[in-house]
Amino acid sequence: MTRARQMSRDMARARQMSRDMNRARQMSRDMNLPLRKSSTDVEVVTFGCRLNAYESEIIRKNAVDAGAVDSVVFNTCAVTTEAERQARQAIRRARRDRPGAKIIVTGCAAQISPEAYADMPEVDQVIGNEEKLKSNLFDLPEEQTVHVSDIMAVRETAPHLVEGFENRARAFLQIQTGCDHRCTFCIIPFGRGNSRSVGVGAVVDQAKILVAAGHAEIVLTGVDISSYGGDLPGRPRLTRLILALLKNVPGLTRLRLSSLDVDECDDDFLNLVASEPRIMPHLHLSLQAGDDLILKRMKRRHSRADAIQFCAAMRAARPEIVFGADLITGFPTETEEMFQKTFDLIEECGLTHLHVFPYSPRPETPAAKMPQVEVPVRKERAARLRKAGEVARHLYLTSRIGTTSKILVEKATRGRSEDYFEVDLDQEYPAGAIVSVRLFALNNGVLTAQALDGPSS
């Protein structure tokens, strides 16, 4: 035991020496560095999902409250190998650009593989997903590199009040985190823990704050929002939460939902989305594949028929609705025939917003041990799927020419329609304004519009 402790201390000392040497080399080149952020700045770099974007706002707020200076926080994603590669690349670049800054790595990748990031000479501290939202994030002991607890032991999600977002037009609101499901390709439950919901009252209070701050649109976000409320007293469903928001926050003009599982969307949900104009007519679905055997091997809870039936029923109830989807190509054992069934979902479900991912094996997941599809095949199928998605998107956008829409202005002359497409405006408007327009052209994949009246706020 004594020898093991000594080896651990030696390794820690070596890592610290490596960091010191790296900083010294960078400082010696400081005179030749390009202009960078002020040394008093705290920068938060976000990778991955909307939930991470929401949590990054909490980190920014905590940085201000703590009086933190000269720090860069990387809020990482672990969904794919590529996401982690991009994060490591950005960390190395940050050390070159800001040699004296304190670099903190957090998020799902840090939660799952803390030592991998602690071993990077550029990194000062690694913080877990539970620890990153605490107010003492910037006051943790510097002599301890890793601050990561057992995320599976966390049983509650504390509500965090965010007063506003850097983009005034749209805000993200966390209603849930974690996941009780164990899809065979997914490592995220080990980064987020089991499903934990924020109480209805706390969500409503946060929404009131965001609306008062000028956000015309709120996006409900989480890891698995379809399972909302299963861990709360009385087990309120997502539909009940939405009804509470619409009733108690009358100033909320537009409500948007993040990714949904079709097997969790019941008739009450369908009827609510169909009848409530403040819920935006754009649903993003976690479909992943279109072949039943692949869905079974993924351990998904819906079938191909479930997905097609849900989209048909939803469109019949609200004809203007559009659908996006997450789709994986080249999942282990996927044949060309199986892939074709996924490809056909674009037409059969009427998909217009595609997020396509070539399968990326994640460590210790069951799918990583299955017979693998060759990487070039995965990428080729992804390219075909994206191309088909672009065609479907173009056809839909073309059909919108000559129709009217209400645009949420994001910046100056650019905004988004209710169905979440980018639109160029004929004049400048303040961010957060909602402008009624007529869509009259499509240029480079972006609709062009002319205002019908003045903006509302």
Residue 457 has pLDDT above 80, yes or no: no
| Helix 304-317 / helix 267-275 crossing angle, nearest 10 deg | 30
Residue 158 lies in a domain: no
**pLDDT value at position 350?**
97
Q: pLDDT of 84-140, one tens digit each? A: 999 999 999 999 999 999 999 999 999 999 999 999 999 999 999 988 888 888 888
**pLDDT value at position 62?**
86
**pLDDT value at position 160?**
65
* Count of C-beta atoms within a 10 Å radius of residue 16: 14
Q: Are 76 and 36 in the same domain?
A: yes
Model confidence band, residue 305 (pLDDT cutoffs 50, 70, 90): very high
Model confidence band, residue 277 (pLDDT cutoffs 50, 70, 90): very high
Looking at residue 48, the DSSP 8-state letter turns out to be S
Q: Are 128 and 195 in the same domain?
A: no
| Helix 336-348 / helix 304-317 crossing angle, nearest 10 deg | 10
**pLDDT value at position 164?**
61
Residue 163 lies in a domain: no
Q: How many separate domains does the chain show?
A: 3
Q: Are 382 and 414 in the same domain?
A: no
Model confidence band, residue 61 (pLDDT cutoffs 50, 70, 90): confident
Q: Are 68 and 205 in the same domain?
A: no
Average the pLDDT over each of 37-51, 114-128, 129-143, 149-163 and give the range with the smallest value: 149-163
Q: Are 234 and 364 in the same domain?
A: yes
Q: Are 317 and 192 in the same domain?
A: yes
Average the pLDDT over each of 15-24, 317-326, 433-442 and give the range with the smallest value: 15-24
**pLDDT value at position 159?**
63
**pLDDT value at position 27?**
32
Q: Are 394 and 410 in the same domain?
A: no
**pLDDT value at position 420?**
96
Domain containing residue 53: CATH number: 3.40.50.12160
Comparing 139 with 280, which gets the higher pLDDT?
280
Residue 332 lies in a domain: yes
Residue 159 lies in a domain: no
Residue 148 has pLDDT above 70, yes or no: yes
Q: Decide which of 99, 116, 149 is a domain's last residue.
A: 149
What distance lies between CA 249 and its chain's CA centroid? 24
3-class SS of residue 263: helix
Q: How far apart are the first and last CA of the chain?
A: 66
Residue 322 lies in a domain: yes
Q: pLDDT of 162-205, one tens digit each? A: 666 655 688 889 999 999 999 999 999 999 999 999 999 999 99
Residue 413 lies in a domain: yes
Q: Are 236 and 135 in the same domain?
A: no
**pLDDT value at position 65?**
84
Residue 23 has pLDDT above 60, yes or no: no
pTM of the full structure: 0.84
Of 423, 354, 345, nearest to 393 by C-alpha is 354
Calculate mean pLDDT across residues 324-348.
98
Residue 367 lies in a domain: yes
Average the pLDDT over each of 4-8, 30-34, 285-289, 399-403 and give the range with the smallest value: 30-34
Q: Decide which of 149, 184, 207 is a domain's last residue.
A: 149
Domain containing residue 274: CATH number: 3.80.30.20
Residue 440 lies in a domain: yes
Q: Are 304 and 241 in the same domain?
A: yes
Q: What is the residue range of 100's domain?
A: 2-149
Q: Are 80 and 133 in the same domain?
A: yes
Residue 26 has pLDDT above 60, yes or no: no
Nearest-angstrom CA–CA distance, 182 and 163: 34
**pLDDT value at position 236?**
95
Q: Are 324 and 424 in the same domain?
A: no
Calculate mean pLDDT across residues 290-307.
98
**pLDDT value at position 69?**
87
Q: Are 222 and 282 in the same domain?
A: yes
What counts of helices (H) and strands (E) characterise the chain? 13, 18
Q: Decide which of 121, 149, 177 is a domain's last residue.
A: 149
Please list, residue by residue across 264-295, b when 16 or more beta carbons sit within 10 angstroms of its beta carbon and e when fewer do: bbeeebbebbbeeeebbbbbbbbbbbbbbebb
Comparing 134 with 440, which gets the higher pLDDT?
440
**pLDDT value at position 287?**
98
